[in-house]
Amino acid sequence: MTTISLPPLSWAARRTRIMGVVRRDFAALRRSPIRMFEILFWPTVELLLWGFVTAFLQTQRVPFVVAFLLGGVLLWQVLQKASNEISIAFLEDIWSRNLLNVQVSPLSSVEYLVGLVVFSLGKVVFAVTVMSGLAFALYGFGVGGFGVGLAPFMGLLLVLGWSLGLVGIAAVLRFGENAQVIAWSLVFVVQPLAGIFYPISVLPAPVQALSWFLPASHVFEGMRTVMSGGPLPWDRLLWAAGLDVVYLGLTLALFAWALRYARAHGKLSRFGD
């Protein structure tokens, strides 16, 4: 009986616990057809919408690379999904009144978050793969246009998405379930600022200044440079990476603070009532 568990601080135990989170979320996804449908529903809707806009602009001979729009849609989905998946996975535990079970298990907060991140990564990669195929089939848009930039661009947006998701979780821990609105909507505050469908230069000057504080702005500008045949803009990538690191650090600290607050005020057992 004494050897039933792995030594709690060993890497094997950590890996087992993290994979416990991933497998659990995967099982839940498999058991929920609606959830499966949803992975592809919104990306497809957006792709179709912007695809037709692109087709229309092409007939109007609008003088810019219309593929920008489709590239924007694809990368935007990466950001939005990464953000929402993280906070939904956490809210899922609140909705099913399972949060206490997770919180009293030896799973540490970091392991829990790593589990959520790994699982969201799987979902994002799946959605993006299907969308890329669709974009190619319907509009002849090949993600090859991003060149080698695709992986770092996506990676940088994923990390920003996770930070935003963490803010959502922290908000729920601090303010209760009503704050789930923040978990859904924060990423949409980023949307207009990040120059997803238009260059940052169209924004009013003060807003532009703000935009450059978002890693996503650098990613989308970089994407346009690459798609119009330019070289991989290393300065943009570095800016985005630096900002990502800063935001991830800040949001992890925010999460830790919110969890301490929730424990100090007995909030963990008050969700779901």
Partner 1 sequence: MVILEAEHLAKRFGPVTAVHDLSLTVAEGEVVALLGLNGAGKSTTLHMLLGLITPDAGSIRMFGMDLARHRTEVLSKVNFAASYVDLPGALLVTEVLDAFARLYGLRRPKARVAELIELFELEPLARRPMMALSSGQRTRVQLAKALLNAPRLLVLDEPTANLDPDAGDRIRGLLGDLARTNGSAMLITSHNMREVERMCDRIHFMSGGRIVAAGSAAELAGAYGAADLEEVFLKVARG
Site for ligand ATP, rule CB under 6 A: 266, 270
| Closest separation in Å from C-beta 177 to ligand ATP | 14
C-beta atoms surrounding 28 within 10 Å: 14
Smallest Cα–Cα separation from 110: which of 261, 6, 259? 259
Confirm or reject binding of residue 269 to partner 1 (CB under 8 A).
yes
63 binds, among ligand ATP, partner 1, none (CB under 5 to 8 A by kind): none
Out of 36, 45, 101, 213, the only residue in the binding site for partner 1 (CB under 8 A) is: 101
In the complex with ligand ATP, the residue whose CB is nearer, 48 or 179, is: 179
* Binding at 248: pick from partner 1, ligand ATP, none (beta carbon under 5-8 Å per type): none
CB 72, min distance to partner 1, A: 34
Kind and range of the H or E element at 205? helix 205-211
Q: Say if residue 232 is exposed, middle or buried (CB neighbours under 10 Å; 0-12, 13-18, 19+).
A: middle
Q: How far is the CB of 176 from partner 1 (least distance, A)?
A: 14
Residue type, 84: N
In three-state secondary structure terms, 63 is: coil
For the chain, the farthest-separated pair of C-alpha atoms sits apart, in whole angstroms, at: 74
Instruction: Using the Cα atoms of residue 13, residue 14, residue 18 and residue 21 in order, give the sign of their dihedral.
Output: positive
Distance between CA atoms of residues 46 and 48, nearest Å: 5
Rg (CA), the chain: 20
Nearest distance in Å: CB 268, partner 1: 5
97 lies in the binding site for partner 1 (CB under 8 A): yes
Pick the piece of the chain touching partner 1 (CB under 8 A) from 20-28, 47-55, 72-80, 227-235. Answer: 20-28
Q: Catalog residues that contact partner 1 under the rule CB under 8 A.
A: 1, 3-6, 8-9, 12-14, 16-17, 19-21, 23-24, 27-28, 31-32, 92-93, 96-98, 100-108, 260, 263-266, 268-269
